[in-house]
Amino acid sequence: MKNFILMLSIVVLSSAMVQAHTTSFKDSTKTKNNPIIPDQDNAGLILPKGFGALKVTDAYGKPRHIAVTPEGYIYVKLARLYNGNGIYLLKDNNGDGRVDEGMGFGDYIGTGLALKNGYLYASSDENVYRYKLNNQHEVITPNKPEEIVYGLLNRREHESKSITLDNDGNLYVNIGAYSNSCQVQDRVPESPGMKPCPILDSAGGIWQFKVDQLHQTYGNGVHYASGLRNVVGLDWNTQTNTLFVMQHGRDQLHDNWPNLYTVQQSAELPAECMYEIHKGDNAGWPYIYYDQFQHKKILAPEYGGDGKKTAGEDAINPVIAFPGHLAPDGLLFYTGNMFPEKYKHGAFIAFHGSWNRAPLPQEGYYVVFVPFKNGKPSGEWEVFANGFAGKAPITSARNAHRPCGLAQGPDGSIYVTGDNKGAIYRIIYTGK
Amino acid sequence: MIKKINFIVSGFFLLWLIIAAIPPNQNNGIKASIQRGEKVYNKVCLPCHMADGGGVPNMNPPLIQTSYVLGNKTTLISIVLHGMTDRVAIDGDYYSNNMAPHNDLTDQQIADVLTFIRNSFGNKASAVIPSEVKAIRQKN
């Protein structure tokens, strides 16, 4: 009898243990599907009501553009090598939303990064590469990328080559102009503009290449758009089936033309412009800039302008004109389902932040949202995520987090990189 | 006793030597130069190197404790006179903007602005005087 009781209790106990084991196992799977909890302080960000943020990592150097796979794995391109690597694949292994593991590859620095149809695309400041992915969206041969494009101009001013892809097998690459306003002497007071501007042959525009052809360069590509001084943020809008770009407007109207512009005017002019681009478009740089107060294309002082004369009749108009010098570095059209209806198909723009607005306080250092309907802005732009540079007024760029890259996660959350102090944020909608 | 007097006298003598060695108003001179230099800085250099001298990451270098600001005056003066587009590593980092020549500034203004940056943003280094600027301007 005693023996029987012992046996029974062993059976009961061990079955309880098995039970306990399965429950704890179940629990851990459940956490994987549990909502991600934002950081207590929302990672220092100021967000609209109902949104929260977490710092996903701050351990991988200076992340520029970013993409997220259907599994929630993150790829980032770095501005500086980190442990000898220019790209990282980052994984969260326990489902808490924070990065636990990083795999580095790619021994080149750069900005551009995109995921499409089983490939990862990444750019150096001269070339574009692609990497085949396995069915988990992991790169198969990290040390053997295919070179899609090579030999793009890098004169170390506006050198980053941002990329995006359409749905018809084309790759779009920005080649920034190595100049402020195509002066004979760059940024020298009253130095005139070169006419015609020789830079426009091989830079200051967007080039289109095929995604699946190796070793293309200028001769193989299509000069898709010109007259764009420097574009860092760009995205393919799947609603309109067109390319949208954010141009960095020119600097130093007062420094270089003190008789024509006050410091105040120079701090606010010209606009940072969003353009919708069709093949063959010209946005007018360096001959004109867009004045967001007069709502006009104004002849640049390097080409005889005085702040009032208009020009650029053949140049396209911006879709939206933002305040000057905010430095848009990331553009993302939101197609997710996590955020409230108003955000659907709208544009998020990561502004790196200004250096060029003294004597006014510096501006930017935030992520902006613009609602869109039928491919057109349907309301005013608003600051969506702020606080990257701490409290206003901002006088230092060195000590700020500077938003750069944007990506949408499979759940509809959005990711923002900060490339200065180095951080990746994830913004989620909690409704609370 | 004699020893003590001797000591005091030689002490005074030393002090006199030191005072005599400093040209009159040198300290005031540096202060005034820094003040004038700040005005030049705010007008000409601040748009790129920023109010805190911290520059703009990857774009315009900082002027805080850099080997150029604290180093050789000849190089420093030439940077302001002739600009800098070398794309050399500045204390390990590269910057992608172009600094234009500022040879429209007078010898006095360049001396002042360099004296200002060498004594601001946590920097401490000797003053730059107009004759040093003049010598380098004439060389080229």
Query: What are the tens digits of pLDDT across the range B50-86?
Result: 999 999 988 999 999 999 999 999 999 999 999 998 8
CB A320, CB A331: distance < 8 Å: no
Q: Nearest CA to CA, how far is A373 from chain B (Å)?
A: 37
pLDDT score of A284: 98
For residue B83, the chain A residues in CB contact (below 8 A) are: 188
Instruction: Pick the range with the lowest mean pLDDT from A29-38, A198-207, A284-293, A319-328.
Output: A29-38
Q: Nearest CA to CA, how far is A227 from chain B (Å)?
A: 20
Residue A397 near chain B (CB below 8 Å): yes
CA dihedral B130, B131, B137, B140 (to 10 degrees): -160
CB A261, CB A307: distance < 8 Å: yes
Best residue in A187, A250, A257, A352 for a mutation probing chain B (most B CBs within 10 Å): A187
The β-bridge relationship of strands A376-377 and A163-165 is: unpaired
CB A65, CB A112: distance < 8 Å: yes
Give Cβ neighbours of residue A190 (< 8 Å, ≥ 6 apart).
A256, A257
Which of B87, B100, B101 is closest, CB to CB, to A156? B87
Residue type, A55: K
Q: Angle B26-40/B107-117 helices, nearest 10 degrees?
A: 100
pLDDT score of A15: 43
Residue A392 near chain B (CB below 8 Å): no
Q: Enumerate residues 246 to 285 of chain A having a beta carbon within 8 A of any beta carbon in chain B.
A: 252, 255
pLDDT score of B92: 85
For residue A189, the chain B residues in CB contact (below 8 A) are: 100, 104
Model's pTM, two decimal places? Answer: 0.86
Q: Enumerate residues 28 to 57 of chain B having a beta carbon within 8 A of any beta carbon in chain A.
A: 44, 46-48, 50-52, 54-57
The answer to whether A158 contacts B100, with C-beta atoms less than 8 Å apart, is no
The answer to whether B54 contacts A185, with C-beta atoms less than 8 Å apart, is no
Q: Nearest CA to CA, how far is A397 from chain B (Å)?
A: 6
pLDDT score of B21: 52
**Residue listed under structure tokens 């004038």:** B36
- Over the stretch A379-424, which tens digit does the pLDDT of each residue have? 999 999 999 998 888 888 888 999 999 999 999 999 999 999 999 9
Q: Enumerate residues 71 to 90 of chain B having a beta carbon within 8 A of any beta carbon in chain A.
A: 83, 85, 87
Angle at A229 between CA A149 and CA A247, to 5 degrees: 95
Residue A139's pLDDT band (boundaries 50, 70, 90)? very high
CB A364, CB A384: distance < 8 Å: no
Residue B58 near chain A (CB below 8 Å): yes
Angle at A70 between CA A65 and CA A75, to 5 degrees: 25
Smallest CA–CA distance from B64 into chain A, residue = A398
How many CB pairs below 8 A link A and B? 60
Residue B112's pLDDT band (boundaries 50, 70, 90)? very high
Which of A157, A255, A395 is closest, CB to CB, to B96? A157
The β-bridge relationship of strands A281-282 and A222-226 is: parallel
Domain A39-429 has CATH 2.120.10.30: yes
Residue A199 above 90 pLDDT?
yes
pLDDT score of B94: 87
Distance separating alpha carbons of residues A390 and A278, to the nearest angstrom? 39
Q: Nearest CA to CA, how far is B130 from chain A (Å)?
A: 23
Instruction: Pick the range with the lowest mean pLDDT from A12-21, A144-153, A196-205, A316-325.
Output: A12-21
Distance separating alpha carbons of residues A249 and A325, to the nearest angstrom? 7
CB A211, CB A170: distance < 8 Å: yes
User: Which residues are paired to A55 by β-bridges?
Assistant: A425
Look up the CATH number of domain B26-139.
1.10.760.10
Residue A240 above 60 pLDDT?
yes
pLDDT score of A151: 97
Best residue in B49, B84, B96 for a mutation probing chain A (most A CBs within 10 Å): B96
Distance separating alpha carbons of residues A153 and A147, to the nearest angstrom? 16
The answer to whether B57 contacts A398, with C-beta atoms less than 8 Å apart, is yes
Residue A196 near chain B (CB below 8 Å): no
The answer to whether B47 contacts A185, with C-beta atoms less than 8 Å apart, is no
The β-bridge relationship of strands A288-291 and A281-282 is: unpaired
For residue B97, the chain A residues in CB contact (below 8 A) are: 157, 187
The answer to whether A185 contacts B100, with C-beta atoms less than 8 Å apart, is yes
Please enumerate, as own/partner, the contacts of B26-29 that have beta carbons within 8 Å and a separation of 24 or more.
B29/B127
Angle at A46 between CA A45 and CA A50, to 5 degrees: 110
Distance separating alpha carbons of residues A358 and B48, to the nearest angstrom? 10
DSSP state of A186: T
Best residue in B38, B39, B42, B58 for a mutation probing chain A (most A CBs within 10 Å): B58
Please enumerate, as own/partner, the contacts of A227-230 that have beta carbons within 8 Å and a separation of 24 or more.
A227/A200, A227/A282, A227/A283, A227/A284, A227/A285, A227/A287, A227/A315, A228/A174, A228/A204, A228/A275, A228/A283, A228/A285, A229/A158, A229/A176, A229/A177, A229/A204, A229/A285, A229/A286, A230/A158, A230/A174, A230/A176, A230/A177, A230/A204
Structure tokens at A49: 């009501």
Angle at B54 between CA A41 and CA B28, to 5 degrees: 130
Q: Work out the mean pLDDT of chain B and round it to a whole number.
A: 86
pLDDT score of A391: 85
- Over the stretch B82-98, which tens digit does the pLDDT of each residue have? 999 888 888 888 898 88
Distance separating alpha carbons of residues A245 and A225, to the nearest angstrom? 10
Greatest Cα pair distance, chain A, in angstroms, is 109
pLDDT score of B8: 62
CA distances from A329 to A67, A273, A325, A404, A410 (A): 15, 12, 12, 5, 22
Q: Work out the mean pLDDT of chain A and round it to a whole number.
A: 92
Distance separating alpha carbons of residues A381 and A292, to the nearest angstrom? 14
The answer to whether B94 contacts A79, with C-beta atoms less than 8 Å apart, is no
The answer to whether A186 contacts B100, with C-beta atoms less than 8 Å apart, is yes
Mean pLDDT of the A150-175 span: 96
Q: Enumerate residues 326 to 365 of chain A having a beta carbon within 8 A of any beta carbon in chain B.
A: 355-356, 358
For residue B104, the chain A residues in CB contact (below 8 A) are: 189
Nearest Cα residue to A429 out of A335, A333, A343: A343
Nearest Cα residue to B122 out of B41, B66, B60, B78: B66
CB A375, CB A239: distance < 8 Å: yes
Which of A79, A252, A420 is closest, CB to CB, to B47? A252
Distance separating alpha carbons of residues A89 and A84, to the nearest angstrom? 14
Which of B50, B58, B101 is closest, CB to CB, to A396? B50
Distance separating alpha carbons of residues B84 and B45, to the nearest angstrom? 13
The answer to whether B58 contacts A157, with C-beta atoms less than 8 Å apart, is no
Residue type, A150: Y
Residue A395 near chain B (CB below 8 Å): yes
Structure tokens at A50: 């109902």
Mean pLDDT of the A325-346 span: 97
Residue A25's pLDDT band (boundaries 50, 70, 90)? very low
**Most confident among A20-24, A84-88, A391-395 (mean pLDDT):** A84-88
Query: Residue A20 in 3-state DSSP?
Result: helix
